[in-house]
Structure formats: structure tokens, C-alpha cells
Amino acid sequence: MPLYALPLQVVRARVLAVDAQLSPVAGVAPVVELYDPNGFILERWTSALDELGVGTYQFATSADGSLGTYRLKATAQVRED
């Protein structure tokens, strides 16, 4: 997901985990990574999602950060029963 942010701006993101039937999955702990325009990882979160399969994350951009498109990537292993 591309993010466009200004220096010293707080950016909030939300992740929703779903299974193959697009039903929310609770209790998984996705790895959420924030990449700068040069492809470097700036932040990594691994907190568990709530009972609805939703996680909320936030970060503040740097005053002297790189200008360009930032990317947010979330991956998780969802067990199929």
C-alpha cells in the first residue's frame, strides 16, 4: 500500500486479516513493515490482532526523511482448519 506523507506527520494504518473465504481471523500476529522510498525498513510491528482480526499502527515521519512513496507491507500465516 503506498503512503504519501509530509515531514513530521503522524500516519495511522489499519490491517485486517482474512482467510480464504474472506472471513476475519482473530489472534494472528502479522509482521507489518514500513519501507521508505529507498526500500529500507523504517519500522516493524508484530502485535497480535484483536478479536475482529484488526490491528492498528501509527508512526511519525521524520523532519529530514526521504521524499517519495512509502510502502506498508503486512504478512501473516493464517491456519486453515
- Residue-range domains of the chain with CATH: 2-75 (2.60.40.1930)
Instruction: Give me the phi and psi of 58, to 5 degrees please.
Output: -150, 155
Q: Which residue has the higher pLDDT, 8 or 6?
A: 8
Q: How much is the pLDDT for 47? A: 86
Q: What would the grid cell of residue 62 be?
A: 521524520
Contact partners, residue 31, CB within 8 Å, separation at least 6: 44, 45, 46, 74, 75, 76
In the predicted model, what is the mean pLDDT of residues 11-28?
Answer: 87
Residue reference for cell 485486517 = 16
Is residue 3's pLDDT more than 70? no
Do residues 81 and 27 make contact, with C-beta atoms less than 8 angstroms apart?
Answer: no
DSSP 39: S
pLDDT tens-digit readout, 38-78 = 899 989 999 888 989 999 999 887 777 777 788 899 998 76
